[in-house]
Structure 1
Amino acid sequence: MKKLLDSLGLFTIPILIIIAVFLRLDITPFGGNSIWYIDLPQQMTMFYNHLYDVLKGNASPIYTWNYGMGTSFWATIAYYLSSPLSILILLFPRSFIPFSILVIWLIKIGLSSVTMAYLLRKHFTPQRWIIFIFSISYALMSYSITYYFLPMWIDAVYLLPIIIAGVHEILKSERSHIFLIGLTLMFFANFYISYMVGLFVFLYFVGELYLHSLGKKERLKRFFLFFKSVILAFLFTCFITIPTFLELRKNKYTAADVNELSYLLNPLDLYGSFFNGTTIIQNLSIYAGVGVILLVPLYFLNKTFPVKERVVYGFLLGFLLYSMTFTFLNMAWHVFELPNGAHYRYAFIVSFLMIILSVKAAGELEWITMRQIIGVAGVNLVFLSLANKLLDGNIYTLWLINKNLFILVALTILIVVLMNKKGSILLHTFAKMGLCLLILVDLGMNSQTILRNYISPSHPVNWYDVHNPSYEKAFNRLQEMDDSFYRTKVDPSLVTTLNESLRYKYKGMGIYTSTGNGEHNLFLRELGYAANSRAANMGNGIFLSDALFGFKYVVTTSELDERIYTKMFQEGNIMVYRIHMNLPLGYMVDQGFMNKGGEKGMFNIQNHLMDGEEASYYEKQNPEAILHSLEEVVNEAGKKVVQRESGNGTPSIETNMTISDTRELYMNLDAETIQNFEEKINILINGAEVRPQNMGLGGFISLGTYEDESLNIRVQLEKDTQTMQIPSFYTLNYSELEKAINGLQNKALEIKEYSDTQVTGEIIVQDKGTLFLSIPYDENWKVTVDGENAEYEKVGSFIGVPLSEGTHTVHLEYVPKILYMTMAISGLSLLLYLVFLGRRILFARKSHVPTVRE
């Protein structure tokens, strides 16, 4: 019962400290501030929405159409969501998912305290006050607070003590159950971070094995147990690790020009990060309490610990710290990639090791001399006194320095009291209580500093439902109205995150994840969309390719031209339009389709997409002479610009052009003017002010749709705008494009049924050719035509199926062969292991002997 109460206290206290910080900083749900920072709203919340649907049986864990135009979701689960605690989201309504993620994070922090206490009690110290201090220190170290917005990494924090406890069990008693269970859970919980844990655990095991007085045969036996457990854990979880590794291997995130032999930071910056309040957003997070700064050096100075042991731990700690300064080693810890933000993702390992060394030192305080404690404290006091001059003065402010000086001095005094074993029991008791209280205040203040730093760059409190309920109702109504296969594009002003289509269950192009189809994203970038290997942003779309990719509806707050769009309904201020020119998921195309024609420029490439030959859907306009009441100059970048002349009231740029047919008019602005262009320029067409729509792509804005008319275009510079480049103009000929789209619609695949992982359709082919499917190319698709397996090819970055003349039934099924194969391996491995283990237990009972150890 006593241990249970201790564990309950250790679980609860760090959570209560974080809640107190939330209250102190008025962080939601206790106030008007938020810490909805970057990946928490943009990735984690949206991914958890889809996982919620998966766990409820309403979505597939393997594949989803709802982002990236169709993407494997298994790697996303393994990379972001496979924590055993993720299932706790089912305890909340779907609308509470953001808060459920924070609750799961807090639970992980509480568990970190409990598992560290287990490790310390089992293998390092019986002293409750030491266990209390350093279990709480571990749970509330900077890393656990800094990466609240990436909570999948915190699984490693609470699992590492279990795994290390398992290492000690292997070394001491040849039992490997704890190690196997901990490692299996780690591999399952997060593929990426388990690599770092595995690397450290191996180094720790080798060091501890060297320190144990074992014969050669005994050491080989321990090696066998260690690697047997590693192999078994890998086999049990290879359905997580292997598919995710193969998915991540497709994308490379480190720039080619990175100097791997360079240094990332100097030793003083590294040392300065060990003090309270010095953790920078998404950066080095190694703080684990000021006590660590005192006790780790005292461990190495304490001669009661064998020289051999201190040398081994010194090498291990030195290697970890050096890895943080040297680019190549830092990349090695990150699976040989340089992180794009969230730097030093293995920092918790440094904190863990330093806490272990601190526990060792705290358990032997009577052997520390006054000279040693004063020397170590003195060095830290001198460093702190000079930190404002030696390091970044914006971080190492006088307040921060004085705070650390106070904690350091108070800590030193309390340690001095505890060093004196001849002191009164009452004095020692008060010193221990004071030390516990000081550590809690220290960690609470550090947590407060970290979370306060995240408030300013975070989303507002209402970000999750900023456009609701109308927004969500509009998607639900659209899905009820039309249950066919189609894609939807959304006005960028409404989009809260590129992954929001997972939440609202619409089929979109937007995606932002490390596990997406990077090759497909890069192809979209070549077409003109804002994309990179991690993300694709549709913006307001490129009309021609949007039509080719099956975008049928637009969700917006703006009135759209009825010549091109039909208004379907309105929910509040949210309007849903159907696009007149749209194509289904599949249709027959000629050779050269999706060939960019070797052209440069978004519109030039678009003109080649239909058949590889140049067309004139998008045309650059050559209007009559562009007049302006400004001065022409060449700016620093060598570009010709016009600038406001002194005394000129409302300078403007003016031109005339004639529009034939039905066309959308675009104006291309320079990179500086396009930023908040509404505040910089005012546009009038035929004397009437227009409200342009930012395309979000290539610096283009849409000036509206016109039909067979002459236009006078006047661009006025607002009073704060000094310069701009003379804009260029383009048009999209809807009349010509509609003829081409209608021709493709006549050769379309009729979808009979579809699900998350299957599509079935029928098509009548007049002339043999290629069935283009706007499904991102993935080798895991299985295609059958009329019941026979069919080969398919890559068309651009999509799927093309060669078809002969006649009527065909085409069926596609997503079959991730590697996943299914590894699931079979994992299941069979676990079954055989359990059978083998059961037989050993049964044999031991029949033989009336204790259970045979592993």
Structure 2
Amino acid sequence: MGLIIFMIMKKAKSGITYLVAFVLPVILVAIAWWLNGVYPGSKLSVLASDSFTQTVNFYDAFHDVLHGNQSWFYTWSGSLGVNFLGIYSYYLGGVVTPIVYFFSKSDMANAVYVITLIKIGLAGVTAFWYAKTSFRLQTWQNHLLALCYAMMSFGLAFAEQPMWLDTLYILPIIIIGINRVIDGKGGNILIFGYFLLFITNFYMAYIVGIFSFLYFCVGLYRRGELKQKLTWLAYGWRLVIALGLSAIIIIPTVVTMINTHIPLSKVNGLFTDNTGIWDLIIKNMVGVYDTTKFGTIPFVSVGLLPLIFAISFFFLKKITKKSKIGMAVLLGCLCLGFYFQPFDLAWQGGHFPAMFLFRYSFLFSFLVIQLAGEAWETKPSFKLLSRIIISLGILMIVAYFGSFGHYHYLSVFNLLSTLIILAAYLVLFSLLTTDRQSVQKGIVIILSIMCCVELTGNAYGIFLGTKKEWHYPLNRLYTQNYPAISKIVSKYQKKDVPLRMESMDPVSRNDGFNYNYSSINLFSSMRNRPFMQQMNKLGYRSTGDNLNLIYGNNTVLMDSLLGNQLIIAKGKVNRVGYQTQPDVKPYHVYKNQYAAGLGTVTNDRILKLKLSNTDNLGNQSQLLNDLSQQNQTYFKQQALKLLPSPGARISIQNNQFYGNMPSDQSVQRLTWKVKIPAHQQAYLSLYPLSGTNLGGLMSEVKVDKQGVNLTSRNSMTGQYIDLGNYKKATTITIHTNIWGSKQFRMVMPNVILMNTNRYEKSMTEVQRHAAKLKISGDTITGKVNVNRKNQVLVTSVPYDDGWRLTVNHQAASLKAIGGAFVGVKLHKGQNQVQLKYRPSGWYVGVIISSISLVLLIGEMVIKKRKNN
């Protein structure tokens, strides 16, 4: 009985130590956020940067998946429809994300806050486990190392990208597994770690995969066992099994990435941008934050305490020469990436990041923790530690004064606080040399408190930097419109077809995921890039790597062809065919009487449709003519007259006009006049050319007596600004304000006129030939009757190889209409059509995962029998 009580107490004590490892970083990070005005119920939300536009909205979608309101494979919320498993594989993997189930969608900002803290806490738990199993240290020492790891600067600075934080708690598990394989012990922990890594985030899996292999090689080298074939086989077998188990996610993701056709980045120089000789010294000071945009240097700090011991690793005689060389090489591989473009590119998968640079820098932080643990267990002398502390202080002073302003974000406070903490550690280390146990215990407590103060101060400084650069947005920006938009969606949503609607005043570029309607807008690293490229040819802005597809500033013709049923706006909308519905404050609601259905039957001439790279209005006209079986001209251009504009600083040449302002914030005010004929929908065409700072260029357009007052960012919207619907001939005055770029160059603005009579006639024909299709999750079904040969069902569903088509229960091949939309060739008579979505590679992944699971179970059974 006494033995049982002893075992229970021992396990309880162990559980408490792990609980402390979890709770402590959570509390300290929460305090740092609280000091910056972010906490549950605060005015500010944690949704900085991409958390506002991506993370919280994708959490909303996953919430719907968990509640059975959306398919795990496909979502209709963004870009008219997109592979949701792909979004999951990058943004939503990990053991923590399912917590969103317990939050309401209107409270999802708090879910992001809680999930981020839990991931940081889990990093503390696994780091404590790693320290406990790897080093011969006292519990308090393991706790300090785990705390420093959990609160590394990388995790804090990149907290607005929480999908990368899972890797921080998975990495120690993988390293524990590798150490056990090298030791000849059981390797199931390695399988579990790799499996968790691969299904959580494929991008980080690539980075950690490279690092862990290098770590394995260095581990064998340190022991002089590089030629141990059995160890190599044990490692390779576990890696293969883990990859196989995760194939259910990895295979479809890889296929999606291949189909996305993103070219590899090109090296344009030897050195990485903004590098300096003092980078690693500067970024180890307390509270240093430069930027997470372009021009940053790596976030590597895990606190001064581990840094001191990590440096001592290379000066300790008890540590072998091989160990020092091996770890120096491993550190050097990371540093090569920090300073040289080719290595930086290799670490990040052949693509230079769009902001949030050096995404592998957390590996440097981990190595600092490992080196610190190995050095600390050898009990380095106070003489060595004092020399290191003094040298660090001198280096930091030299870096501050000798960088000549290169590190402009570095303040005197950063330097002084760092020097004070170094001095405090120096004093405490000297006191630890005493033989009096009571004094030592007191010093340990003070040392631990000092470490907590340093880490909290560092977290505060980084969050303050995030607040200044990205801003922690007000909670109400996310929540205030939720009741109104939810009411509108629930009123007009049908059970069998997603509601396609758009907001003229979007909260973010992924609102459809939040409010559960089908939108053209999408901002995601996982997307149907070929489709988005074709949509750009149809007038929707999607350029470069096509990370965005933007609804704003296109024609009503495309609105109707894509089946957009509703527009909501805080201002007035005057578009042909859009009928005013009862307001839901603060929104006006407009219903499109010419919205096409999900599918339209037309002749097979449309199979020859090829979209031009240069004429988006021509593409729109051709698509409508093919669908309506008409031959109409819908658009024409009308020249504008530039009126005298006091203070204008422009020049006009070769149908282009140039602006040259005193500063980026100077406003170029121009006034134009034009006569609009009767029965026209009018658009102002504003198209900036290369050489303009598109990132900052803004345009505001006002039309007298028409209620038009639109502001748009030119890099993020299309070129056609809606001037209204004119049933009678009208002369209008247009006021344009342009700012955000000191110099800009544009095609000479003109007015695009769309003939509303011809448009109405053609759209009526499209609606007359509509097919009745129903959607249930990831499946489209419908009966389509045709009385002629050579007919095609054209849908507004984005073309994707993942769609599986059956016609009359027989497998059939899809057609890509204009390279953009799903098309189906029909037989004369009745056609029972079914489209079911499974990401390409899904079934192969299921088979490989199943085989791998059988092999793993078989291995475990065989081992168990041998042991028995």
The residue number in structure 2 matching 1:667 is 684
The residue number in structure 1 matching 2:816 is 794
Say whether residues 1:159 and 2:182 are aligned partners. Answer: no
The residue number in structure 1 matching 2:5 is none
Letter in 2 for 1:709: A
The residue number in structure 2 matching 1:383 is 396
The residue number in structure 2 matching 1:249 is 258
Give secondary structure in 2 for the equivalent of 1:156. Answer: helix
Q: Is the 8 A contact 2:561 2:595 kept in 1?
A: yes
Give the distance between the partners of 2:33 and 2:739, measured in 1 at CA.
44
Say whether residues 1:239 and 2:257 are aligned partners. Answer: no
Give secondary structure in 1 for the equivalent of 2:729. Answer: strand
Shift of 1:142: 0.7
Q: How does 1:421-500 map to 2 (within 5 A)?
A: 423-456=435-468, 457-458=470-471, 459-479=473-493, 482-485=494-497, 487-493=499-505, 495-500=506-511
Q: Is the 8 A contact 2:46 2:113 kept in 1?
A: no
Give secondary structure in 2 for the equivalent of 1:509. Answer: coil
Shift of 1:520: 0.8
1:613-643 Cα distance to aligned partner (Å, 9 max, x none)? 98531210146x6553669875499954699
1:172 pairs with 183, 206, 217, which one?
Answer: 183
Q: TM-score, normalised to structure 2's length? A: 0.88
Shift of 1:830: 1.3
Q: Is the 8 A contact 2:556 2:576 kept in 1?
A: no
Q: Is the 8 A contact 2:25 2:150 kept in 1?
A: yes
1:395 pairs with 403, 406, 409, which one?
Answer: 409
1:581 pairs with 589, 594, 599, which one?
Answer: 594
1:415-462 Cα distance to aligned partner (Å, 9 max, x none)? 3343x3x54333333332222111111110010111112224232221
Q: Is the 8 A contact 1:665 1:730 kept in 2?
A: yes
1:711 pairs with 707, 712, 731, which one?
Answer: 731
Question: Aligned pair in 2 of structure 1 residues 576, 765: CA closer, same or farther (>3 Å)?
Answer: farther
The residue number in structure 2 matching 1:771 is 793
Letter in 2 for 1:88: I
Letter in 1 for 2:245: F
1:114-172 Cα distance to aligned partner (Å, 9 max, x none)? 21111111121232232121111001111121222222222211121121111222222
The residue number in structure 2 matching 1:139 is 150
Question: Aligned pair in 2 of structure 1 residues 500, 388: CA closer, same or farther (>3 Å)?
Answer: farther
Letter in 2 for 1:732: M
Q: Is the 8 A contact 2:786 2:827 kept in 1?
A: no
1:212-243 Cα distance to aligned partner (Å, 9 max, x none)? 25595xx2111111111111111111111121
1:286 pairs with 290, 297, 300, which one?
Answer: 300
2:280 pairs with 257, 270, 273, which one?
Answer: 270
Say whether residues 1:750 and 2:772 are aligned partners. Answer: yes
2:637 pairs with 599, 607, 620, which one?
Answer: 620
1:70-94 Cα distance to aligned partner (Å, 9 max, x none)? 1111111111112012222223333
1:15-46 Cα distance to aligned partner (Å, 9 max, x none)? 11112123222213253333311221211111
Give secondary structure in 2 for the equivalent of 1:267. Answer: coil
Give the distance between the partners of 2:170 and 2:571, measured in 1 at CA.
51
The residue number in structure 1 matching 2:140 is 129
Give the distance between the partners of 1:486 and 1:94, measured in 2 at CA.
19
Say whether residues 1:66 and 2:82 are aligned partners. Answer: no
Say whether residues 1:738 and 2:760 are aligned partners. Answer: yes
Letter in 2 for 1:21: A
**Which sections of structure 2, spanning at least 5 residues, go unmatched?**
1-11, 662-667
The residue number in structure 2 matching 1:647 is none
**Which sections of structure 1, spanning at least 5 residues, go unmatched?**
645-649, 845-849
Q: Is the 8 A contact 1:592 1:611 kept in 2?
A: no
Letter in 1 for 2:579: T
Give the distance between the partners of 2:24 and 2:649, measured in 1 at CA.
66
Shift of 1:191: 1.8
Question: Aligned pair in 2 of structure 1 residues 695, 270: CA closer, same or farther (>3 Å)?
Answer: closer
1:511 pairs with 495, 515, 522, which one?
Answer: 522
Letter in 2 for 1:292: P
Letter in 2 for 1:9: V
Question: Aligned pair in 2 of structure 1 residues 449, 704: CA closer, same or farther (>3 Å)?
Answer: same
1:87 pairs with 98, 103, 119, which one?
Answer: 98
Question: Aligned pair in 2 of structure 1 residues 691, 364: CA closer, same or farther (>3 Å)?
Answer: same
Give the distance between the partners of 2:52 and 2:742, measured in 1 at CA.
37
Give the distance between the partners of 2:535 and 2:463, measured in 1 at CA.
37
Question: Aligned pair in 2 of structure 1 residues 350, 361: CA closer, same or farther (>3 Å)?
Answer: same
Give the distance between the partners of 1:332 and 1:765, measured in 2 at CA.
58
The residue number in structure 1 matching 2:427 is 413
Q: Is the 8 A contact 1:299 1:357 kept in 2?
A: yes
Q: How does 1:253-402 map to 2 (within 5 A)?
A: 257-259=266-268, 261-264=270-273, 265-282=275-292, 283=296, 284-367=298-381, 369-370=383-384, 373-374=386-387, 377-390=390-403, 391-402=405-416
1:513-563 Cα distance to aligned partner (Å, 9 max, x none)? 111101111111122211132220111542112222121222223344485
Question: Aligned pair in 2 of structure 1 residues 712, 403: CA closer, same or farther (>3 Å)?
Answer: closer
Q: How many residue pairs align between the two structures?
A: 825
Say whether residues 1:572 and 2:585 are aligned partners. Answer: yes
The residue number in structure 2 matching 1:847 is none
Q: Is the 8 A contact 2:778 2:836 kept in 1?
A: no
1:499-526 Cα distance to aligned partner (Å, 9 max, x none)? 2211211111111111110111111112
Give the distance between the partners of 1:339 and 1:722, measured in 2 at CA.
27
Shift of 1:721: 14
Question: Aligned pair in 2 of structure 1 residues 99, 300: CA closer, same or farther (>3 Å)?
Answer: same
Identity percentage over the alignment?
A: 23
The residue number in structure 2 matching 1:10 is 21
Give the distance between the partners of 2:258 and 2:743, measured in 1 at CA.
46
Q: Is the 8 A contact 1:752 1:761 kept in 2?
A: no
Q: How does 1:216-235 map to 2 (within 5 A)?
A: 216=227, 219-235=228-244
Give secondary structure in 1 for the equivalent of 2:500. Answer: strand
Shift of 1:306: 1.1
Question: Aligned pair in 2 of structure 1 residues 73, 267: CA closer, same or farther (>3 Å)?
Answer: same
Letter in 2 for 1:278: V
Give the distance between the partners of 2:163 and 2:309, measured in 1 at CA.
30
Q: Is the 8 A contact 1:760 1:812 kept in 2?
A: no
Q: Is the 8 A contact 1:594 1:611 kept in 2?
A: no
Give the distance between the partners of 1:335 and 1:718, measured in 2 at CA.
39
Q: Is the 8 A contact 2:815 2:824 kept in 1?
A: yes
Give the distance between the partners of 1:361 and 1:768, measured in 2 at CA.
77
Give the distance between the partners of 1:20 and 1:739, measured in 2 at CA.
63
Q: Is the 8 A contact 2:94 2:200 kept in 1?
A: yes
Give the distance between the partners of 2:837 and 2:481, measured in 1 at CA.
34
Q: Is the 8 A contact 2:556 2:575 kept in 1?
A: no
Question: Aligned pair in 2 of structure 1 residues 714, 405: CA closer, same or farther (>3 Å)?
Answer: closer
Q: Is the 8 A contact 2:522 2:550 kept in 1?
A: yes
Letter in 2 for 1:232: I
Letter in 2 for 1:565: Y
> Bigger shift: 151-160 or 599-608?
599-608
Q: Is the 8 A contact 2:681 2:755 kept in 1?
A: yes
Letter in 2 for 1:62: F
Shift of 1:98: 2.1
Say whether residues 1:819 and 2:832 are aligned partners. Answer: no
Q: Is the 8 A contact 1:652 1:716 kept in 2?
A: yes
